[in-house]
Amino acid sequence: MIAKNFKQVQRNIINAAEKAGRDSSDVRLVAVTKEQGVDTIAEGLRAGTEILGENKIQDAQGKVETLGCDGIEWHFIGHLQKNKVKFIFDLFDLIHSVDSAALAEAIHEKAQTRGTCMPILLQVNVSGEASKFGMDPGDLSKVIRQLAPLEGVKIKGLMTIPPFDSDPEKSRPYFVRLRELRDACAELAFPNVSLDELSMGMSNDYEVAVEEGATLVRVGTALFGPRPSAG
Ligand SMILES: *Cc1c(COP(=O)(O)O)cnc(C)c1O
C-alpha cells in the first residue's frame, strides 16, 4: 500500500511540475513520518523514500537510532524549543521550521560551540493566523539581514503552512505569496544566504504547491494513511 501511494504521489508531483513547465527533479518529497512506527517507516524506505520529516525531537531520537542515516536525510518540520536545540545536530540535516530570529541565533550559538553549521529554512506566517508559528512577512528581509552574518546557520530558503482547507486551490495564494517573498528577498542578495528552497505543500495541496514553485513538499497522510492520532 505504501509503495503504491509513494508511486502515485511521485507521479502527481511529476505531472504538476510538467503542467507548470518545471523540472520535476527540482522537487523533493519529504515523507512525513511523525507518529508512524519504525516498521511503517522502513516500508517507506523500501518504497524509495529518501527524506524523512519528523516534528518531535524525542520521537526522532529513537527512530534515527533504529533506522540510521545511511542514504536517509532527516528533516525537522515541527516547532523547535530553544532548550531542544542541542539535540538537532546529531539528528537532522535540515530544519524547515525556524520561526524566529531568536531561534536562529540559538542554533547559531550551539553550532559554533560544535564547530559546525546547520542548514535552515525560515518559516513564514503568510496567512497571519494568530495560531500559527512563523515570522511576519513584513519582517522577513530585516530578519535575513540580521541572520546572514551568522556562521552557525545557513539560510537555504523559506517554509510555510497555509490554513487548512479541503479545497487545495485555497492554498494557492499563500504559496504564491511565499514565492514572491522569496523572489523579493533573493533580489537583495544577502551574502551567505541562498533562498533556493521553498518548503510548501502537504497531502491535500502538494500538487498546487509544486505548480507554484515548491522544491520540498511535506507529505504524510497521502503516503502512510491517517496518523494514529487522526483516529
Ligand atoms: C504533519 C505535517 C505535514 C504532513 O501532513 P499531511 O497532511 O499528513 O501530509 C506537513 N508539514 C508539517 C509541518 C506537518 O506538521
pLDDT one-digit tens code per residue, 192-214: 999 999 999 999 999 999 999 99
Give a yes or no: residue 229 inside a domain. no
Ligand 1 centroid, distance to 181 Cα (angstroms): 22
The pLDDT value recorded for residue 131 is: 86
Specify the pTM: 0.97
CB 77 within 8 A of CB 54: yes
Structural domain includes residue 230:
no
| Domain presence at residue 130 | yes
Ligand 1 within 6 A of CB of 133: no
202 lines ligand 1 (CB under 6 A): yes
> What's residue 231's pLDDT?
59
pLDDT for res 178: 98
- Structurally, the chain folds into a number of domains equal to 1
CATH, residue 183: 3.20.20.10
**Which grid coordinates belong to 10?**
511521485
Q: Give the residue-averaged pLDDT of 5-22.
A: 98
Residue 231 lies in a domain: no
| Domain, as residue range, for 77 | 2-224
Out of 17-21, 94-98, 129-133, which region has the weakest mean confidence (pLDDT)?
129-133
Q: Nine-digit cell at 229? A: 492520532
What does the alpha-carbon distance between residue 195 and residue 53 come to, in Å, rounded to a whole number? 20
Evaluate whether residue 197 is within a structural domain: yes
Ligand 1 centroid to 188 CA: how many Å? 31
Q: Is 31 in the pocket of ligand 1 (CB under 6 A)?
A: no
Please check the confidence at residue 177 and state whether its pLDDT lies above 80.
Answer: yes
